[in-house]
Chains A and B, each alone.
Chain A
């Protein structure tokens, strides 16, 4: 809770939020796994939900950039995939000599004619090293890219195109066999994690609990961040970067911080995704994946923290259902949904209760309360004109 204020969120409202988040957190972290161990929820479905929660982390990272800072990244899945790859390297090492070729190095390397491990693979036998790389590699790439882009004041559509080019270029690199990262098959056939059998329901349940914990912690952390002065500056950059610059803030530093933070969140999401889904390949970093994540955020409601989580879970649940029920129609359904949301519900799913309330009040003929931010809606999709400054 911010102490900067008199804040406008009323105490009852924030209490409702704390209770709601608490209930959902307990539901995800304790109730779902318990139901799974009691065999009420199948392993398949728990695993599916684990995947959704990883996607929710990716969605939060997109929203942190797009909804809160006005930076539309069309390459956020890159960091998700890199996190997955770094963790995947550790999981590949844990296969040991149980691969199809029965050699102590990963199968794809045997296939490429290697007889011993390439040097850069060696330290990935250590889980802690791999975990450090999950944070470091995406963090460093985001830092260098962000530093150059923000220092040159690249913004708007140019920034979006560059992020897309970055993820596309990297995916082309990972498709090549001679990068020694598995080529277009990527990594799969994982068997153990930290000595536990990866395929056992208990391990998968543990991974689910960890994912849920990370998601709740990320939510709480981002919630805190959005209510600090940092959060105020971040959202001010979104609405009028010039004013922020002329108020003495080095906006590039703020944007860089958010960009790196978002990359780390996405990367952790990817690192949790790989052991639950059992495969990582370069198609995870193609531009479509990043665009999909943007759709989740748009549908859920950008500029809120609940929105991306709702969007990621609901669209992916719909996808799981629709790709089985109407495999040929899925992309049309997704596109149609996106168009529908932009046209009729620009605030996303999270804006539905507010809209219903407004309609209800209109029907009863009561006047709406004074327009302060206690009724803060999500930011509409259509971008407002930026604060224009004069030029004579």
Chain B
């Protein structure tokens, strides 16, 4: 059994009486690509908020730890401390720095010291430049490096944000709806890219597009969230065939969403 890199145990989170997450338990193993699906309001984004430090759970444990390194209690850390441990996040709506060039967006994300005084004297090494060039080619924005990111098309912004995530070289990538607003071809390429990252990195991908989920899940695990807790977990085909999942998605049961 591989080592869990992220262990979420019995976590609950309430916003003004609304139970966003209830007794959720979830393990992500090293090198795994996990797909998380669920209807609107199932708690997917809150789930990411809890792991990345944007929200604190009311109860429960969230631990991060590679097999070879000490484990960290993520509930005691804030956003940037969690990021520095090696957990990167891509937001649902592409969040790039619109007034910065594509290149500068990547420079800002590049792995390295993050302190105020380090940033005053920081220069890129040639290895780092090569690394950024490589990422630019991979995300196919090589020709647009001097463009302001705000001028990119929606799909290109998504790719840029993925590139920014790659530049950070995190151990765990939290990817929220990477294919939103992309053409079929772009979606497919995004899937290929995410698949190529698995193994070296561990990924959690939240997605709505079932074709895309099928592509990236392959025979890995899919987690279905519903009303803030895990409804079921399993291979894509099994999950798809599960009557409980069909119920929440197709709205036959009393808890169903449209």
Nearest CB of chain A from residue B189's CB, rounded to whole Å = 23
Nearest CB of chain B from residue A98's CB, rounded to whole Å = 47
Check if A248 sits within 8 Å of B148, measured CB to CB: no
Nearest CB of chain B from residue A337's CB, rounded to whole Å = 26
> How big is the B interface, by class?
35 or more
Q: Is A158 an interface residue (CB 8 A)?
A: no
Q: In the bound complex, how far is the Cα of B99 from the Cα of A379, in angstroms? A: 9
B118 nearest CB neighbor, chain A only: A229
Q: Is B100 an interface residue (CB 8 A)?
A: yes
Check if B114 sits within 8 Å of A373, measured CB to CB: no
Q: Is A8 an interface residue (CB 8 A)?
A: yes
Q: Is B59 an interface residue (CB 8 A)?
A: no
Q: Using an 8 Å CB-CB cutoff, how does the interface string of B163-199 with A read, 1 for contact, 0 for none?
A: 0100010000000100000000000000000000000
Of B4-12, B65-73, B103-111, B238-246, the stretch lying at the interface with chain A is B103-111
Nearest CB of chain B from residue A372's CB, rounded to whole Å = 4
Check if B97 sits within 8 Å of A8, measured CB to CB: no
Q: In the bound complex, how far is the Cα of B100 from the Cα of A238, in angstroms? A: 11
Check if B89 sits within 8 Å of A246, measured CB to CB: yes
Of A80-88, A283-291, A384-392, the stretch lying at the interface with chain B is A384-392
From the candidates A240, A248, A373, A388, name the one contacting B146 in the complex (CB within 8 A): A373
Q: Is A3 an interface residue (CB 8 A)?
A: yes
Contacting residues, chain B, for A233 (C-beta < 8 A): 108, 119
Of B22-30, B44-52, B212-220, B229-237, the stretch lying at the interface with chain A is B44-52
Check if A4 sits within 8 Å of B107, measured CB to CB: yes
From the candidates B100, B121, B151, B176, name the one contacting A236 in the complex (CB within 8 A): B100
Q: In the bound complex, how far is the Cα of B176 from the Cα of A371, in angstroms? A: 29
Q: Using an 8 Å CB-CB cutoff, how does the interface string of A363-392 with B read, 1 for contact, 0 for none?
A: 000000011111010010000100111111
Check if B108 sits within 8 Å of A232, measured CB to CB: yes
Check if A232 sits within 8 Å of B107, measured CB to CB: yes
Check if B103 sits within 8 Å of A390, measured CB to CB: no
Q: In the bound complex, how far is the Cα of B102 from the Cα of A372, in angstroms? A: 10
- Knowing A372-B147, A391-B45, A392-B44, the reply to whether A247 touches B93 (Cβ < 8 A) is no
Nearest CB of chain B from residue A314's CB, rounded to whole Å = 26
A250 nearest CB neighbor, chain B only: B80
Q: In the bound complex, how far is the Cα of B121 from the Cα of A4, in angstroms? A: 10
Contacting residues, chain B, for A5 (C-beta < 8 A): 103-104
Check if B95 sits within 8 Å of A392, measured CB to CB: no
Contacting residues, chain A, for B176 (C-beta < 8 A): 390
Q: Is A257 an interface residue (CB 8 A)?
A: yes
Nearest CB of chain A from residue B115's CB, rounded to whole Å = 7
Q: Using an 8 Å CB-CB cutoff, how does the interface string of B48-80 with A read, 1 for contact, 0 for none?
A: 010010100000000000000000000000011
Check if B97 sits within 8 Å of A239, measured CB to CB: yes
Nearest CB of chain B from residue A123's CB, rounded to whole Å = 31
Q: Is A253 an interface residue (CB 8 A)?
A: yes
Q: In the bound complex, how far is the Cα of B145 from the Cα of A250, in angstroms? A: 26
From the candidates B44, B101, B120, name the one contacting A230 in the complex (CB within 8 A): B120
Contacting residues, chain B, for A254 (C-beta < 8 A): 116, 119
Q: Is A326 an interface residue (CB 8 A)?
A: no
Q: In the bound complex, how far is the Cα of B180 from the Cα of A280, in angstroms? A: 59
Contacting residues, chain B, for A376 (C-beta < 8 A): 148
Contacting residues, chain A, for B42 (C-beta < 8 A): 392
Nearest CB of chain A from residue B219's CB, rounded to whole Å = 28
Nearest CB of chain A from residue B23's CB, rounded to whole Å = 17
Q: Using an 8 Å CB-CB cutoff, how does the interface string of A113-133 with B read, 1 for contact, 0 for none?
A: 000000000000000000000
Contacting residues, chain B, for A379 (C-beta < 8 A): 99
Check if B101 sits within 8 Å of A8, measured CB to CB: yes
Known: A4-B104, A392-B46. 19 other contacts (CB 8 A): A4-B122, A4-B123, A5-B104, A238-B99, A239-B99, A240-B98, A245-B83, A246-B79, A246-B83, A246-B88, A247-B83, A250-B114, A372-B146, A372-B147, A373-B146, A387-B93, A387-B98, A389-B91, A391-B45
What residues of chain A have their CB less than 8 Å away from a CB belonging to chain B? 3-6, 8, 225, 228-230, 232-233, 235-236, 238-240, 242-251, 253-254, 257, 370-374, 376, 379, 384, 387-392
21 contacts between A and B (CB under 8 A): A5-B104, A229-B119, A230-B119, A236-B97, A236-B108, A238-B99, A239-B100, A240-B97, A243-B91, A247-B168, A250-B80, A251-B80, A253-B116, A254-B119, A257-B116, A371-B147, A372-B101, A372-B146, A387-B96, A390-B92, A391-B46
